[in-house]
Amino acid sequence: MRQRRILIPTPVALVVVLLLAVFATAGCDDKVKPGETKGNVVGHALASTSDHPHPGFATDPGGPAGALPVGHTVNGKLTAQSFTGTPTVGPLFIDAGGVTLFHYCTASVVPSDAGNLIATAAHCVYSKTFGGFQNHIVFVPGFHDKAAPYGLWVAATAYVDQRWITSGDPDYDVAFLTVRRATADNDNGDSLEKVTGSDQFVPNPGYSTHVDVVAYPMGGAKPVSCAAQTTQHSATQLRFSCGGFSEGSSGAPFLTADGAVVGLVGGYQEGGNAADVSYSSYFGDDVTKLYRAAASSG
């Protein structure tokens, strides 16, 4: 096959090389090490009780991801439906002494350089009420019916915005966690992203988008999903209306049909005080900077 090659004059080629070098350096500057704060991005190393959690979950191999449930009508109101899960979304469990106790929030896999990054709500990771950063977090993608089809992943580093830590500003209720595979699993060295795939992070996605929200309400054996249109709650907050998103839904991704994350349950009222209305911090420039720092640092 013949290929057309465009010859660049030497001065222009030199400029291109210099620009590439500048962009490469800028990418390096995005990195934030654990224990470091750069701008408003805080990197924090999380303590893990054990890299050998033994939850007694089955190792269901998991099947291909199907269409997400769109919800059903209950008493005239749209309500989320339960289903057996999707690979890129899972609950966050608390681990104590190697015993994986209960799930309390939801997270999803997003792209990163190392392939081991998940997104969730900042209040799932840092809460002054509960003493600051939450440790001993285990992510179980695709969890359903006491099965961990894609293994257990221990949270290693948290990335949050300083303004969430300082004042609990709902516009920054977004966090990213790097994870590593629990050594109790059969670890062949694959990254989380290689095992489950990922959902693209979309900066400045607009306010009106048709999405499926996938969540793990606390105590549930399966996730729930519902499809609806997002609306603008404010310049910095999205709103989503569907019932069934009770406690534990925090961090649940707003997923588009083409596999992108445009929000997550959190923000205003830490995601909403009612199960039928959920909110998300808008993925504006500051949240995008947080994501890029986390994605390049893990």
CATH classification for the domain delimited by 35-297, as one of 2.40.10.10, 3.40.190.80, 1.10.3720.10, 3.40.1390.10: 2.40.10.10
8-state DSSP, 7? P
Model-level pTM?
A: 0.86
Q: Which of 1-15, 94-108, 188-202 has the lowest mean pLDDT?
A: 1-15
C-alpha of 193 from chain center? 12
Binning pLDDT at 50, 70 and 90, where does residue 250 land?
very high
Residue 151: both structure tokens together: 């293994």
Q: Are 174 and 294 a contacting pair, CB within 8 Å? A: no
Mean pLDDT score of the chain:
86
Between residues 138 and 184, which one has the greater pLDDT? 138
Q: Give the helix/strand (H/E) hosting 17.
A: helix 10-29
- The letter for the amino acid at 251 is G
pLDDT at residue 101, rounded to an integer: 77
